[in-house]
Amino acid sequence: MGEALCIGFKAAVKDCNNQRTAHEGLTENFPEKLVSEWETMCTKWEREPYPKGKTVNLYVVPEAHISVSKALKELAESNQASLCSGGVSYHKVTTSGFIMMVLEGQDSQRKLAEIVDQQKKDPTVIQSTKVLEQRNTLHRRIRYFQALQAIYMPGLMQFRANARDVDEEEDSIQPETTKLWLSSDIPKEKHEAVSVRGLDKVEAKLQQARCYDALNALRHTLRIKARLMQFKNTNVRGQRESECSRAIINRVYMKARHFASHYRIAHKAYLALVGTGDWEKTLRVLEDGDVRSYKDPALVKKGPGRKGTAENDDEEEISSHMDQGGIELIAPDRNEWAHRTVHGTGETRKQHSWIWTAGGSINVGDGAEGEDNQILCSEWCRSRAQVKRAEEEGAGLSLPKATLEEGMDAYASMQEAIQLRLCDTFHSEWKKPLEDEVKGREDQDEEAEKEGLEGEVEEAGRLGVQDMEGHDDELEEEEDQGED
């Protein structure tokens, strides 16, 4: 028990130090005034009794940006107000409904294309049948989209006819490669000639909402991946268990790449619709190195460099270890990180990815004081809670000396009482069999002694008879000699 407690204490101290160092590195990126406010809010939340209904829950991030569901609701209300004021309805499917149907159809095309690529080598009959059924379903949906395109994009046929003069491009036979046109696929100066008025603005609003939804899903997936990696490194041992956990992490990893791809597609479409602007400070271009947890360090730490040296060697070496999706599945070894990075590898020198600050006004790079950012506040509070948990886990084994001695004395007294009770119990259980054994041996000794005495008497009697017979013979011999 003592050895096990010692191992647990060492692990608790190590975890506490790691959590504290990471939290300090995260805290240094924020202004002191803001950190003080968050600390006060956390303390108030912890002191409030259950149920905690009066204090704001710092671990829940409210949606400060627009999501796809909110955008659809606002567009539906706007469409209703337009109809009430004498506006025109082109079809029973609204403009926003038409765009969402096309966007969902594009997502289905990408999923089907991935399935076909995976089954290219040697598909079974069942797999081929499922792909054929999905293609038929998607083909019917594309026909419906094209019928609606004739209503909301009446100039599309003329635009495509003019475009073919420059680029002879035929439509694909397979539905997963058929192009579904939207305003983002057409040059901005030709929007009014191709589509109905306002179609580009509706798509821009939905594409912006899709960007935020993809970022939220990506952040959530990265949190899950970090927790799974921590659980695997702490609890999983053995080849079979490691393979099972790796398969689960692989699925989460693929989801993260899927959401990153969704963000890039929506960002590209939004950029084509509205052009460059201040919005790019919030919704930036998602690079492979940006897809990482807020705890992960920056993948490249470039120094000032010297003339005549290959300054990009570190970047090339790191990029060779990365997957195309930019997400490392297994955390690298400490020695490997020490070899791959030049300097600035400490926890306090981390550079956090911009995806954790998207939608807020705090710049963690320069520490500018701005409005409260709920995402950063939530992440900081979670980091603080992890430090507190690690400190509480090790606090039980690092008590003051007097308290520790008192506890040890109490534990020793309890163990003494337990051992004494065990002694009495064993004595009472073993006493009766021992007494029976001793009594049985005494009876055997008495019987043996009695049998010995009887044998001696018989022997003595037998010897006495022999002596008497010998004496009579001697007397007869003497009498015969006297007569002679």
User: Could you tell me the end-to-end alpha-carbon distance of the chain, in angstroms, rounded to an integer?
Assistant: 107
Question: Count H helices, E strands: the chain?
Answer: 13, 0
pLDDT at residue number 385: 82
Does 280 have pLDDT greater than 80? Answer: yes
Task: Enter the tokens of residue 376.
Answer: 């950063």
| pLDDT tens figures, 332-349 | 444 444 444 443 444 434
Segment 391-396 mean pLDDT = 71
Segment 374-397 mean pLDDT = 74
Cis peptide before 304 (omega within 30 of 0): no
pLDDT at residue number 295: 61
Structural domain includes residue 169 = no
Segment 227-255 mean pLDDT = 81
pLDDT at residue number 36: 84
Task: Enter the tokens of residue 171.
Answer: 């439509």
Residues 385 and 417 in one domain: no
| pLDDT tens figures, 141-183 | 999 988 888 898 898 888 888 877 444 455 567 888 888 899 9
Structural domain includes residue 94 = no
Which of the pair, 450 or 148, is modelled with greater confidence? 148
CB atoms within 10 A of CB 470: 9
- Domains in the chain, number: 2
Q: Look at residues 372, 373, 368 and name the one whose alpha carbon lies nearest to residue 358.
A: 373
Structural domain includes residue 14 = yes
User: Residue 172 carries which DSSP code?
Assistant: P
Q: How much of the chain, in percent, has pLDDT values that exceed 90?
A: 7
Supply the Cα-derived Rg of the chain in whole angstroms.
44
Does 461 have pLDDT greater than 70? Answer: no
Residues 419 and 386 in one domain: no
DSSP letters spanning 327-363 = --SSPPPHHHHHHH--S--SGGG----GGGTTTSS--
pLDDT at residue number 330: 41
Q: How far apart are CA 425 and CA 430, in angstroms?
A: 9
Residues 386 and 448 in one domain: no
Residues 382 and 427 in one domain: no
pLDDT at residue number 415: 92
- Entry pTM: 0.57
In order of 226, 271, 332, the CA distances from 229 in angstroms are 5, 35, 12
Residues 6 or more apart whose CB falls under 8 angstroms from that of 92 comprise none
Which of 398, 415, 449 represents a domain boundary (last residue)? 398
Segment 278-285 mean pLDDT = 87
Q: How far apart are CA 138 and CA 249, in angstroms?
A: 31
pLDDT at residue number 261: 92
308's torsion region: left (phi>0), alpha (psi -120 to 50) or beta?
A: left
**Poorest-confidence range of 135-144, 224-233, 249-258, 419-428?**
224-233
Residues 428 and 468 in one domain: yes
Segment 200-207 mean pLDDT = 90
pLDDT at residue number 71: 78
Residues 409 and 474 in one domain: yes
Does 465 have pLDDT greater than 70? Answer: no
Task: Enter the tokens of residue 399.
Answer: 């008590």
Cα atoms in the Cβ-side hemisphere of radius 13 Å centred on 400:
2
Does 369 have pLDDT greater than 60? Answer: no
Structural domain includes residue 425 = yes
Does 294 have pLDDT greater than 70? Answer: no
Does 420 have pLDDT greater than 70? Answer: yes
Segment 446-452 mean pLDDT = 70
Residues 392 and 432 in one domain: no
Does 307 have pLDDT greater than 70? Answer: no
Structural domain includes residue 122 = no
Q: How far apart are CA 391 and CA 447, in angstroms?
A: 75
| pLDDT confidence bin for 20, thresholds 50/70/90 | confident
Residues 484 and 410 in one domain: yes
Which of the pair, 67 or 281, is modelled with greater confidence? 281
Structural domain includes residue 422 = yes
User: Residue 154 carries which DSSP code?
Assistant: T
Structural domain includes residue 208 = no
**Residue ranges making up the domain that contains 380:** 1-63+372-398
User: Residue 288 carries which DSSP code?
Assistant: G
pLDDT at residue number 398: 56
pLDDT at residue number 37: 82
Residues 392 and 409 in one domain: no
Task: Enter the tokens of residue 427.
Answer: 């004595």
Residues 390 and 410 in one domain: no
Segment 6-33 mean pLDDT = 77
Q: How far apart are CA 134 and CA 110, in angstroms?
A: 12
CB 71 within 8 A of CB 78: no
Residues 483 and 436 in one domain: yes
Structural domain includes residue 71 = no
CB 358 within 8 A of CB 215: yes
Segment 261-274 mean pLDDT = 92
Segment 436-454 mean pLDDT = 70
Residues 449 and 377 in one domain: no
Tell me what the pLDDT averaged over the chain comes to. Answer: 74
Q: How far apart are CA 295 and CA 387, in angstroms?
A: 14
| pLDDT confidence bin for 456, thresholds 50/70/90 | low
| pLDDT tens figures, 73-93 | 777 777 777 777 766 677 788
